[in-house]
Every structure is written in C-alpha cells, then in structure tokens.
Amino acid sequence: MFSPEFQILLLSLRLDDQLGAVIEAQRIIDGNQIDWEDLYRRADIHYIKPQLAQLVGKVSPVVVPESFKEKINGASRQNLVNQLRYADEFFRIRDLFKEAGIQVIPFKGFWLAHDAYGNLADRESLDVDVFVNIGDLESIRTLMEENGYRAEEAFRDLTVEEIRRGFQEYNFDRVDGETNVFHIEFHWGICPPDYGMGITLEDLRSQVTTDSLQGRELQVFTPSAHLLLALLHHGGKDRFILLKQIHDVAQIVYKHDDINWNWVVSEAGRLNAVPLVYVGVNLASALTGVAIPPEIKSRTEKRKIKRLTENRLGSMMRAPDLWHNRAFNFNNWLFRMRSRTGLTTKMKITAATCKVIFARFFRGQSNKEENYDQVPSQ
C-alpha cells in the first residue's frame, strides 16, 4: 500500500484527469497526517518538484503549510532560472562547435522540457546531455579546455583513446571558484560499453531535424528518436527508478501522436532492448494515465512485460533510504537482465556487474551496504 505522501506524488503526475487528481489529493491531505518534509524530500529525489508544486497549488491553501508552499514554489522558480541558463550555455557551446564543424544534438534536459513538457520550468535537470560523433572527441576536448571547461574527474588522466574504449560519454564542468556552475555530457552511446547500448549519432542520422527555442534555431532529434533515447537511458542505464523518468516517457507519448513505433521497436531490437520499450510505456500509462498507443498495446499486455512493470512500480515506491541495500540492488540487476534479450548481452552485463563488485570488495568495502549498480541519475 502506498504511503499518503507517495500517493500525492503519483497524483502530481496525472495527465488524464488532472481535476480528479486535485480532488483526490485534497481527500488524502484531509484524511491523513502528512509528513510534509518527507513529501518534499521524495519529490526532490524523484526530480518532480515542479509537478508537486502545481498540484498543491490547486488544493485548498489552508491545508498546506505556508513553509512548504514557499519551499516548493521557490524550487520551481529556481529550476526555471537553471534551465534558461543551461539553454544559453548550450547555444554558446553549440556555436563554438559549429565554427569547428562539430555537430552536437541535445537530448533530455532543457530541450525535452520545451518540446514535450511545453515549459522549461516543468522539468528538472542538473546538466545538459548532447550526442556527438565519437571521431570528434579530440577536438571536443581541445575546445572545451580552451573555453574554461575541465574534464570531469573520472576522465582527467585518461587519453581520448582510453575514453573511447571504456565509456560512451565524455563529461566536462565549468567551475566558478569552488562551485560547479555547469555540467555537460557528450554522448556517443548510452550506458558503459558492456551494457550493449551503443547507439550512435550515425544510427540516428535519419532522425535529426531542425527546430527552434526562443527564436534560436537548433538541430534536434525527432520525437521518435528522443523517446527511444529516453527509454534506453532511463530504463537501460537507470532501471526506471525515478518518477521523472517515467514522466518523461509519458510526456513524449502524450504530446506526440506521430511516433514511428516500427522504427523505435526495430532500433530497440537491434540493441536487445525491446522489453524496455514496452515496460516504459506500460509504466507511463499506469502512473500518468496516458493511453498506450494501439500500435504496441497488445505487446505491452504480455505476461513478462506486466511482471517487469510491477517490479518497477514496487521499486519506485520504496523509501529512498533503502536504495543502497543489497536486496534493492540485486532486484535492479535482475530487472536489467530480464529486460534485455540476447545471451551475449546478458553475459556482458553480468561480467560488468561482477567486475564492479570484485573491485569494491578488494577496496575493503565488502562489509558495507553495496551499491554495485549505479544510483539513478537525474
């Protein structure tokens, strides 16, 4: 049974009956002693503070503590400031790269907020993710360093060739004094290489189009490609742990009725990730009420997909304090294995997981609660 706080979070995500969600939230607040601190903490961890702010702003003001309203509304205003700043910085970097003949395509982040959510303020993010060609990494490093950026610590002592072999992203920070003021991640795939998410900008070439943001033109992915990348990142990399990840999928499906599902499923099949497509859309429908497109509806009703969907729902409702224990991480590993196809892919995932476990064991961490599967990212 969901706690009252988690029920309110879920209601903030509804896309089908928003008036009904407000009425139900009012009923829950009236009938329970709400832990407002826990509610804010969960919204913060799941990166859905804007959605919660919108919901509580519509219930009777006398039942919501003034301090909570000030805190949640302040967080939403700050998020808008952040997204505007991230977009401005992206365009600055994009223009530098354009002069050097380097193509850079944003995904997730501020562009998803604009395109699918309809408002930069409505989607939380802490950085900018872009897709690039792997052959441009040396030039990217040079340009970033010449313009006040430094590589994230994990990459600083590595050659470009080592980064190509061991990663599918190359991350940089701009630091003001001791404060990290901007973080950008250059991707040429999703997840570490052993997880089999090696989709490249060349693979996505047919899905690049032109759009605009605040009067500035930019190259972006089609909704079909953006949906696929969200499913691969949120489900394949992060195992659908955060409510925001499901909300992303729901917003894309809700906003765009022209998704090329044949292309999405075909590309996912090439990466042994078709179950992630169906589980992600199932979760989006269950949590937000968005309709499952008829093109894939019958496939989302298969027993395996329903079980995986129920598994993820159970994980998301767990208290965040339990996200680092062995049982939670083992369940995440099982989901990762069961949501992928292909024996070779599963063997590589297992080997990569074992490598992390053994490395931490030999560093003397074997008696601690192990987080051998990475913590979900924003």
Q: How far apart are CA 127 and CA 112, in angstroms?
A: 13
d(Cα 227, Cα 249) in Å, to the nearest integer? 7
Distance separating alpha carbons of residues 36 and 329, to the nearest angstrom: 28
What average pLDDT does the segment 253-278 reach? Answer: 97
Average pLDDT over residues 145-160: 94
3-state secondary structure of 171: strand
Q: Bridge-partner residues for 326, per DSSP?
A: none
Q: What's the rounded mean pLDDT across residues 314-327?
A: 86
Q: For the residues 35-56, what does the mean pLDDT come to?
A: 96
Q: Cβ(123)–Cβ(113) under 8 Å? A: yes
Tokens 């032109």 label which residue? 210
State phi, psi for 341 to the nearest 5 degrees: -120, 160
Task: Give a yes or no: residue 33 inside a domain.
Answer: yes
Joined together, the tokens standing for residue 39 give 């509610």
Q: Residue 378 falls within a domain, yes or no?
A: no
Q: For residue 115, what is the DSSP state?
A: I
Q: Enter the tokens of residue 30.
A: 């009236």
Residues β-bridged to residue 130 = 106, 186
Q: What angle do CA 35, 41, 44 make, to 5 degrees?
A: 140
- Asked whether 32 and 59 are in contact (CB, 8 A), the reply is no
Q: Is residue 23 part of a domain?
A: yes
Which uninterrupted H or E stretch holds 7?
Answer: helix 4-11
Q: Are 271 and 342 in contact (CB under 8 A)?
A: no
Q: What is the pLDDT of residue 371?
A: 43
In this prediction, residue 25 carries a pLDDT of 97
**Tens digit of each residue's pLDDT (9 = 90 or more) over 48-64:** 999 999 999 999 988 99
**Helical ranges in 241-368 per DSSP H:** 243-255, 261-270, 274-288, 297-300, 303-317, 326-338, 343-360
pLDDT at residue 376 is higher than 80: no
Q: Which domain holds residue 86?
A: 4-365
CB 276, CB 268: distance < 8 Å:
yes
Asked, for residue 376, whether it belongs to a domain, the answer is: no
| Section 105-118 average pLDDT | 97
Distance CA 172, CA 174 (A): 7
For residue 320, name the pLDDT band (cuts at 50, 70, 90). Answer: confident
Is the predicted pLDDT of residue 267 greater than 70, yes or no? yes
Which residue, among 172, 182, 184, has the nearest Cα to 146 in the 3D structure? 172
Residue 360, pLDDT score: 63
- Helix or strand (DSSP H, E) at 221: strand 216-221
Residue 260 lies in a domain: yes
pLDDT one-digit tens code per residue, 184-227: 999 999 988 889 999 999 999 999 999 999 999 999 999 999 99
Of 100-104, 139-143, 172-176, 215-219, the one with minimum mean pLDDT is 172-176
Q: Check which CATH number belongs to the domain holding 11 and give it.
A: 3.30.460.40
Asked whether the predicted pLDDT for residue 364 surpasses 90, the reply is no
**Calculated CA dihedral for residues 250, 256, 261, 265, nearest 10 degrees:** -40
285/364 Cα distance (integer angstroms): 43
pLDDT attached to residue 321: 84
Residue 367 is predicted with a pLDDT of 41
Domain-located, residue 338 = yes
Residues 6+ apart with CB under 8 A from 269: none
Considering its fold, how many domains does the chain have in total? 1
Q: What is the mean pLDDT of residues 246-266?
A: 98
Flag whether 372 is in a domain.
no
Q: With 80 as the cut, is the pLDDT of residue 378 above it?
A: no
The set of residues, in sequence order, having a beta carbon less than 8 Å from that of 361 and lying 6+ positions away, is none
| Tally of helices (H runs) and strands (E runs) in the chain | 16, 7
Scanning 127-273, the segments in alpha helix (DSSP H) are 137-146, 160-166, 223-231, 243-255, 261-270
* % of the chain exceeding 70 in pLDDT: 94
Radius of gyration of the chain (CA): 21
| Structure tokens that stand for 118 in this block | 């309809």
Q: Is residue 267 part of a domain?
A: yes
Q: What's the mean pLDDT in 348-360? A: 78
d(CA 35, CA 294): 40
Give pLDDT, residue 369: 39
Report DSSP state, residue 376.
Answer: P
Side-chain-side CA neighbours of 371 within 13 Å: the count stands at 9
Strand partners for 173: 150, 183
